[in-house]
Each structure stands twice: as structure tokens, then as C-alpha cells.
Amino acid sequence: RMDQALLLVRNELPAQGLRLAALSGACHQCLYQFLAFVPPSNGSLREPGTAAVMVDTQHPLTLLLNSSAGDRELCKIQYHFGEFGNYSLVVKTLSTSTKTVSCDLVINEGPINSCLPILFAFLVYMGILAILIVGRLFMKIDPVRNWVYKKLNPREMDRLINSELGTPNTTDSVSSDPTPRLWSTASRQRLRSLDTFRGLSLIIMVFVNYGGGKYWFFKHESWNGLTVADLVFPWFVFIMGTSISLSLSSILRWGSSKWKVLGKILWRSFLLILLGIIVVNPNYCLGPLSWDNLRIPGVLQRLGFTYLVVATLELLFTRAGAESGTLEMSCPALQDILPYWPQWIFILMLEVVWLCLTFLLPVPGCPRGYLGPGGIGDFGDYPNCTGGAAGYIDRLLLGENHIYQHPSSSVIYHTTMPYDPEGILGTINTIFMAFLGLQAGKIILFYKDQHKQIMSRFLIWSIVMGIISAILTKCSKEEGFIPINKNLWSISYVTTISCFAFILLLLIYYLVDIKRLWSGAPFFYPGMNSILVYIGHEVFENYFPFKWKMQDSQSHAEHLTQNLTATTLWVIISYVLYRRRIFWKI
């Protein structure tokens, strides 16, 4: 099967059977998992005892061979098997006098390179990009452009050729429909980098949700650590916070009352939560949706509640004249922070609540402050403690049937407890993530058109967040005070992802809005219709042409082709909607 190899164990020891166990290199402080019993060799027939097992190829494995008599350890081998490889592990006695046992791993059939489809897909997309760039350059040549326009619209071309000057004069332009000019002005005022950032996060999220070619690094990390899939949702939350700052500033500047704006915030939050519960609910796969198995937390639910808190916080404590610089500041270098000190106090109080609940809340049967996955982790001492306080709060308040049933920890750590990565306690740090994005928006507002100031402050925030992450994690995946963990939405996870987010926003802002070296395409288009693309990709996930029956379901290449095709279709759909000026806003 995909991500597996065949291992044939040959036991040439005449008098003792073997017990084969394995431990994944991705499983921290885990128990060895029994794989097979290998019978002793038949001395009279000189036939070795054999056993065939499937081994995982996603991560390095440690194989442990023990004697079935006395459970004596005979050998231990660390090896990273290759996908679809065929291996033999030969166990024999080197010396009858010393009873020294040797374990030799032999490659019978070499594995395939499962990453080649990624390279091929990359080359295909680069080829398409090269063709588009060359085509755009050719379109800047007048004869080529005129020939193309004539082929596409010959009547209009003839009219221009037969007209007095061949091009409309200034009077004609002024007297014509002014809508394009107004749209152009609006486009210049809107920062394309924000929509590009949002679209990039969204497209990676769609690709990951569709399966990511079934590669492990396009799936969520089993517990501590980061993969590509763990980056995109917090980036989306981050840019939502940035948009809140810019949109509320614009609305209030146009004279809308705060009560009216608050009503819009409440309505939008309600719609996001409702869509998440009713439309985008993964428990549909369990059959007709009912209250018995309805998943209450979710991505849109968390976005809705986070939006409610952060937008209300910004609305309540925003100060007139602060962004325009008319307020006197004792420290001008902190003019985007000091006027909003009540917001910072509120956020710090939320973080204190998260820390207290996480490390001080008593959880039955679990050590206080437990942050582990449970299952076979921590040497199997706390199998039912998945997520510690975070999991306990969800199971207590929402019920086991109303949270996510198949967490990412179940694969590596063999956990059996339901756990929701979008649960209640983690929402606190999601609010903090959006608040950091809100701070990025304030920087853009306070230092409008001061590009060096904006970029330098993005860089400073990134460095600060990186330093905090280094302290919290001790620059380690497993040994820090608070490890990076997407399932828990740990504080170190937020500071690490926000460190990357500030840097990424800086780069996109520089390329798209300052130097205009990049238009933001193709990510700009889904970024302009993010809610429609997200809900659409969830609702139509199992429908053609986004999904079809595969010839070989155990092929990374076929899964990658299907997932990339589906993701590309949503980019094309968002482009068509953009060209037709169709935007779904909540």
C-alpha cells in the first residue's frame, strides 16, 4: 500500500522464536508496537522461520527483535524504509560458541521515489507560468497586440482602423462610461498584497483539505511540530485581523455609527458560525446529520467567534485621530501601540486565562499541566489524556459526540479519545493570532505610504515573535517549556506562525504594492472571494470534476493530480468571478 514497504523477516536461529516490534521516529517517548512473531528455523530441513510484515515509510523506524524465550533483546535497527520497497531482515548466529546474533537488512527490490510527482507537477506549473509571462511580453508589442485584437474582435478592430485617428480622443474618454475609471481608483486604494496573502493561505488550505497528494508533509503534524498544513489556517486568521483594522477604520471614517457597525459585526459572526455548523460539518460522513453527532467546533465557527471578539475589541477602543497622527504621543515610535493599551491588557488577560487553565486545571486521571497526545505517547502512562485540559474542557462542555472524532494524533500515537483542534481553549490563542494581524493593519494605517517604516516594523515584529518562540520552545520540537502544537494552538505555535506571517506579508507587500513586480496573480483572485471558495470547496469536495474514481488509489501521482486539478479549478472559478465582478461578502 501507499507509504508502506514489505519486510520479510528470516529467522535462522534453530531454537528460539522472535518477537518483532517497531517504533516510529515521529512518535516521542512512545511504546514499541508489536508487529509479528517469527518462528524458529526448522533445523532438520534447514528452513528458516519467516514472517512478512508491512512497515511504514513516512518516518524512520526503529526495529526491535527480542527472543520469545526470556524476552532478551537480540538486536535493534534504525532504518528509513522506502515506499513499495521489498526488504529482508536476516537473523542468524555468527558464532555458536559466543552465541552472537547478527541482524542484516537486505534490499530485495528498491523503493520508488514517491516525491517525483511533486517535481513533475512543479515543472508543469512553471511551464504554464513561463508561457503566460512570454505571452504577456509579446502583447506589449504593438503589431502582435493589434493582430490578436483583430482575431478576437475583427469588427471593433476595423472600426478603429477606419476611424479618423485610430484611437479615441480625450473627449471620447471623458464622455464615456466613467465606471472603469472609478474601479481603477478603487483598485489602487485597496492593498493587493492583503488579498494575495489571503488567497495564498486559502489555496494551500484547499489543496491540503483535498488530500495534498496523500503526502505526510501536506497533512497536519501528529502532535508537536509543524508541517506545511499547519501554516495556512493561522495565516488566514492573521490576515483577517489585518483586514479588520483597515475595514473598520474606513467605515468609521465615512461616519458610520459604532452601534450600526457593531450590528454588522454580530450578524457576520453569526453567519460564519451558522455556515460552519450547518454547511461545512465533517460529521456528514457519518450519515444524515443529527444533533446526536453534530460537530459544534470547526474552522468557520472559530473564525466567526474570533472575528466577533477582535472586531468588537477594535471598535470599542479605537480612538478618533489616532491614525491620522493628530493625537499627541509621548513616544512617537510606539504610536501604533500606546493608544490601544486597553486592547493589549485584554489580550494579556486572555493569555493568563489560557495559561492558568492549561497548567493549573485538574484533569481526572491526568497529571496537571499535561500537554501530550495520550495514547502510546509518554510510554503509555496517560492513554486517555489527549490534549490535557483542552481536551477535557471540550469533552466536559460539548460532549464527546460533538467534537472531532479522528484527530491527527490517532495515526502515530494510536489515541482513542476524540479531540477537536478547533476546540474551546485554543480559541483564546486564535484571538491572539488575529490580534497580531490587527497590529499589522494598524502599522499600515499609521504609516500610510511610508513603505520603509511599514516594512521595518513588520521585520521588528517578526524578530520579536521569533525570539519569544525560541524561548518558549528552547529551539526544540519536544523539549521546550511550551512546544509548538497546532492541535493545542499553543502560545508558541501562535508566536512562531506570526513570525512567519509578518515576514511573508513584508515580502508580498514589497513585491505587489511597492515595486509592483508581481500582480499577486493567481492568489489574488481567490483572496477576493475567500468565503465562497472555502465553502464551495468543502461542499463540492466529492463531486466531479473535483473528484473522480482513480485507476490506482495507492498512487501518490494520481492523488496529487486529482488534488492539484481540484485546487486549480477553484483558482479558475475565482478568476472568472473576479472578471465578472461577482464577490460574495458576508
* CA–CA separation, 184 and 479 (whole Å): 53
Count the alpha carbons within 13 Å of 509 in the hemisphere toward its beta carbon: 25
Q: Which residues are catalytic?
A: 220
* CA–CA separation, 222 and 407 (whole Å): 8
Torsion of the alpha carbons at 180, 182, 186 and 192, rounded to the nearest 10: 20
What strands lie across the sheet with 73-79, from one edge to the other? Answer: 33-38, 18-24, 61-67, 73-79
Neighbours of 77 (CB within 10 A): 14
CB 506 within 8 A of CB 458: yes
Alpha carbon 189 to chain centroid distance? 29
* CA–CA separation, 586 and 581 (whole Å): 16
- 3-state secondary structure (DSSP) of residue 42: strand
CB 10 within 8 A of CB 20: no
CB 375 within 8 A of CB 419: no
CB 412 within 8 A of CB 223: yes
Helix (H) or strand (E) holding 306: helix 299-317
Distance from first CA to last CA of the chain, Å, rounded?
44
CB 233 within 8 A of CB 205: yes
Strand partners, 103: 91
CA-based R_g, the chain, Å: 29
Beta strands in 39-152 (DSSP E): 49-56, 61-67, 73-79, 86-95, 100-109
Q: Which amino acid is at 40?
A: P
CB 407 within 8 A of CB 415: yes
* CA–CA separation, 34 and 17 (whole Å): 14
* CA–CA separation, 272 and 32 (whole Å): 44
